[in-house]
Amino acid sequence: MTKSTTTNKAQRLLSLDFLRGLIMVALMIGETGFFQKLYHAFSNSFTQMLSVQFEHSEWHGLTFWDVILPAFMTMAGTAMAFSYKKQQESGYTWKESFLKVLKRSFWLLFLGILIYSVRNQHLNWQLSNVLTQLAFTTLIAFSLINKPVWWQLTVTLLCLLIPEILFRTIHIPGFDQPFVEFHNFGSYINQSLGIKVDLDHKTNFINFIASGAHTTWGMMAGQLLLSNKSTKQKFIYLVSFGLVAILAGLTLDLTGITPMLKWISTSSFVLVTGGITFIVFAICYEWIDVRKNQNHLRFFTIVGMNSIFIYLFFIFIGDKWLNGYMEILCGQLLNLANVPLATGAAISCIVVFAMEWYLCYFLYKKKIFFKL
């Protein structure tokens, strides 16, 4: 992990910083359990809807929370394209850039395993969280960074097809039902690797194959935005790809060909979430970078500029200690003033979020940006 003390604002894509920040802000709030605790404190249809949207789908379906990881991985691909461009301008060879990416992937893999190594009072060998998955998808995307667009698209289609073929054609007793939880080929791979899978973590290690499409699409979006095409063309390409991807994914799901399953990253899930991300990114790009509506972005961008750091913080420290500590502290102190414990628990989530945001703000003011 390195520390940078300079930024080049002139070359930054502000919509990328904003969207990464928006993703991280959603993660920061969601990981405190705020919306679930809000529902417990104030039970009504609106808070129930929020609590459902900030939980993963049980198996089949799609929630807002399901889109966060794909969006994170897509934006990582976009950032890679901009980083590679700057390296080229600085005289880096492809080999030198590859070694930097290889080093980054190693740290992503190491940290992804480390932060989940102890879970529910047991050792947990997990290769399915966002950091470990990103370690592999980063290498997939970078291997295509100098290839023509048709080649990049072909590989992303293969990323979607390979798991489909594996899940549908390999019939291992007990793991021969491609779209049934714990009885699919991915679950067999998890078991073979000795990966402990809790009931609320049904994700498969080999999800990185399909998710490689997300990061590669993000890299392609970055290359598009760096191209000489007009801003109108860039916007149209992003939106068009997003709409086509959503339509294709929904068709696969609604016809029953391939159900939309987040936990095993089915092709329909990857297409729909990738399409949603592209459309949101296109809107942010048009509004922020093209039309120059750049006021009031800092709340999000200062988080986006230290996205990996704050992710590690709220998973490793927040989830394992700070969230529970503040719930007891705030809840019981507020209870002395006759505030219900459930309400105090929800308020504690806001306090934790404010602390984490201020940490990002402190690093931003000191011009400290942690990168892998």
- Evaluate if residue 249 carries a pLDDT over 60: yes
The pTM (predicted TM-score) of the whole model is 0.91
End-to-end CA distance of the chain: 5
Instruction: Please state, in angstroms and rounded to a whole number, the distance separating the CA atoms of residues 257 and 243.
Output: 19
Q: What is the pLDDT of residue 121?
A: 65
pLDDT digits (tens, 9 = 90+) for 63-95: 999 999 999 999 999 999 999 999 999 999 999
- Evaluate if residue 120 carries a pLDDT over 70: no
Q: What is the pLDDT of residue 200?
A: 45
The total number of structural domains that make up the chain: 1
* Inter-residue contact 183 to 59 (CB < 8 Å): no
- Evaluate if residue 205 carries a pLDDT over 90: no
pLDDT, mean of residues 138-154: 97
Instruction: Please state, in angstroms and rounded to a whole number, the distance separating the CA atoms of residues 203 and 182.
Output: 10
pLDDT digits (tens, 9 = 90+) for 323-333: 999 999 999 99
* Inter-residue contact 119 to 126 (CB < 8 Å): yes
pLDDT, mean of residues 202-206: 75
Give the range of the structural domain holding residue 18, as residue numbers without chain letter.
2-371
pLDDT, mean of residues 209-224: 97
- Going by their DSSP bridges, the two strands 118-119 and 369-371 should be labelled as unpaired
Mean pLDDT of the chain: 90
Mean pLDDT highest for which of 168-172, 183-187, 188-192? 168-172
Q: What is the pLDDT of residue 255?
A: 96
- Evaluate if residue 202 carries a pLDDT over 90: no
Mean pLDDT highest for which of 8-12, 132-136, 139-143? 139-143
Instruction: Name the helix (H) or strand (E) containing 3.
Output: strand 2-4
pLDDT digits (tens, 9 = 90+) for 296-338: 899 999 998 898 899 999 888 988 899 999 999 999 999 999 9
Q: What is the pLDDT of residue 118?
A: 65
